[in-house]
Chain A
Amino acid sequence: MLRFLRRRAIFFIFTYILTSLMVFFMLRILPGDPARVIAGGREASEQQVQEIREEFGLDRPLPVQYLTWVTDFVRGDWGESVSFPGNSNRDLILQRTGNSMRLALVALALSIPISLLLGIIAGLTENKLPDSIISILTLSVVSLPEFVTGLFLINIVALRWQNNPIAEYFGWWFPSSSAVPANATFQEALPALWLPAIAATLVLLAYISRLTRAGVIEELKRDYVRTATLKGIPYRTVIFRHVLRNALLPTITVIAISISWLISGLVVIEFVFGYPGLGRLLIRAIELRDLPLTQAIIMVTVSIILVANLSADMIYAILNPRIKLE
């Protein structure tokens, strides 16, 4: 286990270095001069731009800029926000990350049980009616991009139902704006959460349920299932005690990995719903060519994805006796 963690730690460090390099240099290659943007755009005089350059160290050689940025980032000094004056980048990002996490959690809490259930039913009834229905449903959902389902939900549910007596009765569930006050409790945030959460759920639903179905079908063909059945134990015991444990092993990894997938989905969903999460902040930061903020957001995202993948590996290894973390 220690050995595994050590190897993983080294792997982490290299991934971080590589992604930070890519993020840093790719953003420099983009057209437009960040110093001019900060200085106020076209109207700013050459001198103002020059001052900004010096202030932010943008006139120094790129490697030096990179190193300063990395050391500051590691120390936790992510700079004062240029685009949102009065806030530090770190506070901004952490608050927005919290919002996104809430959304992601609700999405996962909805999608995992539903998709596992659908996947298992489909797997156990391979090529029969329930399987066909589930497969058609999940496939049609997966073929709709999240911005389409998002817009659909907004139009049908949020806008149409707003003046509907039923909606009025459940008024709390249909807030007129998706704005979430900073430091809102979970309960306060929930009304704004559930519609985008459904859109995010649909992103994962099809994916996880297809994989669960494949896992169940594959395990059912294995010899040990025959052994278990011929023990004469009840069918449900064969399924629950023998098949599911093995069938869900790969699914668990997939769920952890799909968290990274969810994050990219969230960027779009947050934008469509105007939900104040990390994804929307990223889009805004790029629009404003706010380099320090963009870089910091991407590095945070990378961390989340790496941690999700690591926990996937570890959970898998703990549940699978054939793998020893050596």
Chain B
Amino acid sequence: MQDKEKNLLLEVDALNISYKIKGDWIRAVSDFCMELKPGQIYGLVGESGSGKSTIAQALMRYLSANGRIDHGSILNFMGDDLTYANPAQMRSLWTQKIKFVPQNAGAALNPSMKIGKQMTEIVKHALNINGKEAQKLVIEMFNKVQLVDPEKVYERYPHELSGGMQQRVVIAMALITDPELLIMDEPTTGLDVTTEAVILDLVRNLIAERDTGVVYITHNLGVVAQLCERVLVLYAGEVMEDAAVNQLFSQAFHPYTIGLLNSIPRPGITKRDSLLQSIQGSPPSLRERKDACVFVDRCPFVIDKCHDIKPGLEKIADNRLVRCHRWEEIEAGELSFKTEEALTINHELNEQSETIMRVDEIAKHFPVQRSIQNALSGKEPPPIRAVDGINLSIRQGHTLGLVGESGSGKTTLSRVIIGLQERTSGKIELLGMDIRNTVRERSPDVLAKIQMVFQNPQNSLNPYLSVRQTIRRPLMKLRGLSRQEADREVLELLQAVNLRREYAARYPGELSGGEKQRVVIARAFASDPDLIICDEPVSALDVSVQSAVLNLLARLQDENGTSYLFISHDLAVVGYLADYLAVMYLGQLFEVGSAKELFNPPYHPYTEALVSAIPVASPEVRENRILLEGTVPSAQNVPSGCRFHTRCPRKIGAICEDEAPPWLGDGEGHFIRCHIPLDELRELQNPLTTETDSA
């Protein structure tokens, strides 16, 4: 016993955390336990509201003022009980031994202090090193986290760095004191997949060099599979399952974990193959704790016992923990998820179907104000070329997926098409007719035909309008229905998006994120549009909710023959819903083709990097990733020749810098814009391993 405790870095048992909300103590986390060894990366996975961030704060002993760790909890760090540690004791631990890497690095840095000063402050206080010595140490650390130009970064303010650089600075801050315990709270959320891949790689290498124990909090099972050794699944403040990563991903024992794993769209799987599994309903409110399993309302395997007796966290073979009455049946394979029937879209890609929209050489340049230097020399500064000559067409009933990193111009393109932004040049044709620049100039008919679903349902619904009023507006204004007709139609639309009639009277504040997005979708379909532009429609939603919304979009498209322009940074999500894909980089397209082909070689080197950066939710696929250096260059000074040459891992020489690459076609509608011939690319590139390939 004594020995065992010695080599444990962190031992948490019976940890209960409560928050005081409107006078009542509400338990947010109950009976949490974990054991962390030095050098181990422990993943904590959960959706919003699962209590994962609360646990992170409790482990740091930095709960918000209305939170408390309840009596009886055990929180042992290197043999010391921290449950009742006072702030002074904690402060000395924070100085060196326990470090925290927060989610939003941009906000976590003091905006009015230079990066270097924020770093040396730690060195001075923790290691008692001053002056030039401290600066040297900081710059050394910057080199370790692979910051380009560390001396310059030292002199910068946080807002002058990109998101990826800020995240590296925050990681450097945590590692510079060589801590024993590192708590990382969603450190890559909000970053591009390419940047995320680089940061994960960096964390993995830096941790491997030392003996730091890491608690890694995330909502992304893919990241866990790629990075962690052990994983703990949280739901509604309770541990559902705890296992080694390999075990969990090969067979999960808890219905919630299984549901989560099944609801992730996997690269290469499309709506034509199968519907995504989703978990019905939404997480319980923490106020109403019952003597039942917390997952009881959403569990597909629920039995009477689940309602009456709360299952305990059972320790089973292989050092696994699971909280379910029926895990043995699941392990034995006696219970299986009812496979939702695949979508009845049996029609193959229909090359003959009508073209709904054609976008011809669209460009959107934002003028830049002249600076004093420019004014003196009489030079006009180059504009920001957010969108620079895009050709697209969308067929009726099909989905065109548009992918690219942030800064690629995909959102600007969507705003130009919908008419929220004036285009600089180019033509947009809807059903063979030219349409005007902006929403204000377009007729209601045109407005009715193109609708949009935005990323954040929170911000795209008016909080003072009920669901009925929200959906009624396009029905009356764009379709010219009377109020009675519109009200009837509202109910039908609600039914179509799987919301009960009662929801018509509710206000956005009373809806969950997934429900709000359903209302937004119902509103988009209200005017009976031909084209809906979906700009990251599921990226603000939890995984289990996300899959249900994707299924809904696929079904509605099939029923109504609507076309989608689907924009996302998540290749797996786009790949699931799209029939065709277009890859955008710095305002231009670099590859177009059918969605299936895009996940197989030959692909454009940029697409290859994007595909390889997806954190795949299976630990076996931890192969060599292609890591893109740096960030998307400024759209004001686009690189000469091929715009991707500054970051391209497959650059072949001067030709890439001097000449714009040609479009190479394979004769079957797949086009790549690259100097490397298709055959050569095919030989160089590995196919992505997906479930379908192995099956």
Within 8 A of B (CB), among A227-255: 227-234, 241-242, 245-246, 249
Contact partners of A223 in chain B: CB under 8 A: 102, 104, 107-108
Q: Does A228 lie within 8 Å of B110, measured CB to CB?
A: yes
Chain A nearest CB: distance from B93 CB in Å? 7
Q: Which of B120-128, B519-527, B668-676 contacts A (4 or more CB under 8 A)?
A: B120-128
Given contacts A224-B111, A233-B125, A326-B369, could you give 15 more A-B pairs where the C-beta distance is less than 8 Å?
Answer: A2-B372, A3-B372, A223-B104, A226-B102, A227-B170, A230-B62, A231-B122, A232-B95, A232-B96, A232-B126, A241-B121, A245-B112, A246-B110, A246-B112, A319-B112
Q: Does B159 lie within 8 Å of A322, measured CB to CB?
A: yes
Q: Does A229 lie within 8 Å of B110, measured CB to CB?
A: no
17 contacts between A and B (CB under 8 A): A2-B372, A3-B371, A223-B102, A226-B100, A226-B102, A229-B62, A230-B60, A230-B62, A232-B93, A232-B96, A241-B121, A246-B112, A249-B112, A320-B112, A321-B159, A322-B111, A322-B157
* Most B Cβ at <10 Å: residue of A233, A245, A246, A320: A233
Q: Does B173 lie within 8 Å of A227, measured CB to CB?
A: yes
B92 within 8 A of A: yes
Contact partners of B372 in chain A: CB under 8 A: 2-3
Chain A nearest CB: distance from B250 CB in Å? 37
B109 within 8 A of A: yes
- Distance A222 CA – B113 CA, assembled complex (angstroms): 14
B254 within 8 A of A: no
A232/B110 contact (C-beta < 8 A), A227-B173, A322-B159, A326-B371 known: no
* Most B Cβ at <10 Å: residue of A228, A234, A320: A228
Q: Does B92 lie within 8 Å of A222, measured CB to CB?
A: no
Q: Does A227 lie within 8 Å of B92, measured CB to CB?
A: no
- Distance A93 CA – B170 CA, assembled complex (angstroms): 58
- Distance A226 CA – B108 CA, assembled complex (angstroms): 7
B290 within 8 A of A: no
- Distance A307 CA – B108 CA, assembled complex (angstroms): 36
- Distance A314 CA – B121 CA, assembled complex (angstroms): 29
Q: Does A321 lie within 8 Å of B111, measured CB to CB?
A: yes
Contact partners of A322 in chain B: CB under 8 A: 111-112, 157, 159
Q: Does B107 lie within 8 Å of A222, measured CB to CB?
A: yes
Q: Does A224 lie within 8 Å of B157, measured CB to CB?
A: no
Complex: chain B residue closest to A228, CB-CB:
B110
Query: In terms of DSSP, what is the predominant structure of the interface of chain B?
Result: helix
- Distance A108 CA – B608 CA, assembled complex (angstroms): 64
A: residues with CB less than 8 A from B are: 2-3, 222-224, 226-234, 241-242, 245-246, 249, 319-322, 326
Q: Does A227 lie within 8 Å of B108, measured CB to CB?
A: yes
Contact partners of B173 in chain A: CB under 8 A: 227, 231
B91 within 8 A of A: yes
Query: In terms of DSSP, what is the predominant structure of the interface of chain A?
Result: helix
Q: Does A224 lie within 8 Å of B109, measured CB to CB?
A: yes
Contact partners of A249 in chain B: CB under 8 A: 112
B: residues with CB less than 8 A from A are: 60, 62, 91-96, 99-100, 102, 104, 107-113, 121-122, 125-126, 157, 159, 170, 173, 369, 371-372
- Distance A57 CA – B108 CA, assembled complex (angstroms): 67
- Distance A233 CA – B95 CA, assembled complex (angstroms): 7
Chain A nearest CB: distance from B390 CB in Å? 31
A232/B112 contact (C-beta < 8 A), A3-B372, A223-B104, A326-B371 known: no
- Distance A3 CA – B372 CA, assembled complex (angstroms): 7
Contact partners of B112 in chain A: CB under 8 A: 245-246, 249, 319-322
Contact partners of B109 in chain A: CB under 8 A: 224, 227
- Distance A224 CA – B104 CA, assembled complex (angstroms): 10
Q: Does B125 lie within 8 Å of A231, measured CB to CB?
A: yes
- Distance A326 CA – B371 CA, assembled complex (angstroms): 8
Complex: chain A residue closest to B104, CB-CB:
A223
- Distance A149 CA – B125 CA, assembled complex (angstroms): 50
Contact partners of A241 in chain B: CB under 8 A: 113, 121
Contact partners of B159 in chain A: CB under 8 A: 321-322
Q: Does A231 lie within 8 Å of B121, measured CB to CB?
A: yes
Chain A nearest CB: distance from B85 CB in Å? 13
Q: Does A227 lie within 8 Å of B110, measured CB to CB?
A: yes
Chain B nearest CB: distance from A299 CB in Å? 32
- Distance A222 CA – B108 CA, assembled complex (angstroms): 8
In the A-B complex, the 4 residue pairs with the smallest Cβ-Cβ separation, listed nearest first, are A232-B95, A232-B94, A223-B107, A223-B108
Complex: chain A residue closest to B369, CB-CB:
A326
Complex: chain B residue closest to A127, CB-CB:
B65
Chain A nearest CB: distance from B678 CB in Å? 47
- Distance A233 CA – B170 CA, assembled complex (angstroms): 16
Contact partners of B100 in chain A: CB under 8 A: 226-227, 230
- Distance A220 CA – B389 CA, assembled complex (angstroms): 47
Complex: chain B residue closest to A1, CB-CB:
B372
- Distance A319 CA – B113 CA, assembled complex (angstroms): 10
Q: Does B121 lie within 8 Å of A224, measured CB to CB?
A: no
Chain B nearest CB: distance from A128 CB in Å? 11
- Distance A222 CA – B100 CA, assembled complex (angstroms): 15
Q: Does B111 lie within 8 Å of A232, measured CB to CB?
A: no
Contact partners of B96 in chain A: CB under 8 A: 232
- Distance A249 CA – B94 CA, assembled complex (angstroms): 29
- Distance A224 CA – B112 CA, assembled complex (angstroms): 11
Contact partners of A232 in chain B: CB under 8 A: 91-96, 125-126
- Distance A224 CA – B109 CA, assembled complex (angstroms): 5
Chain A nearest CB: distance from B92 CB in Å? 7
Chain B nearest CB: distance from A236 CB in Å? 12
Contact partners of A326 in chain B: CB under 8 A: 369, 371
Q: Does A224 lie within 8 Å of B93, measured CB to CB?
A: no
Contact partners of B111 in chain A: CB under 8 A: 224, 246, 321-322
- Distance A320 CA – B158 CA, assembled complex (angstroms): 12
- Distance A2 CA – B373 CA, assembled complex (angstroms): 11
Complex: chain B residue closest to A232, CB-CB:
B95
- Distance A234 CA – B104 CA, assembled complex (angstroms): 24
Q: Does A230 lie within 8 Å of B107, measured CB to CB?
A: no
Q: Does B121 lie within 8 Å of A230, measured CB to CB?
A: no
The residue from B94, B121, B122 contacting A229, defined by CB atoms under 8 A apart:
B94
Chain B nearest CB: distance from A275 CB in Å? 40
- Distance A326 CA – B170 CA, assembled complex (angstroms): 30
- Distance A322 CA – B111 CA, assembled complex (angstroms): 8
Contact partners of A321 in chain B: CB under 8 A: 111-112, 157, 159
Complex: chain B residue closest to A2, CB-CB:
B372
Complex: chain B residue closest to A225, CB-CB:
B110
A233/B121 contact (C-beta < 8 A), A226-B62, A321-B157, A326-B369 known: yes
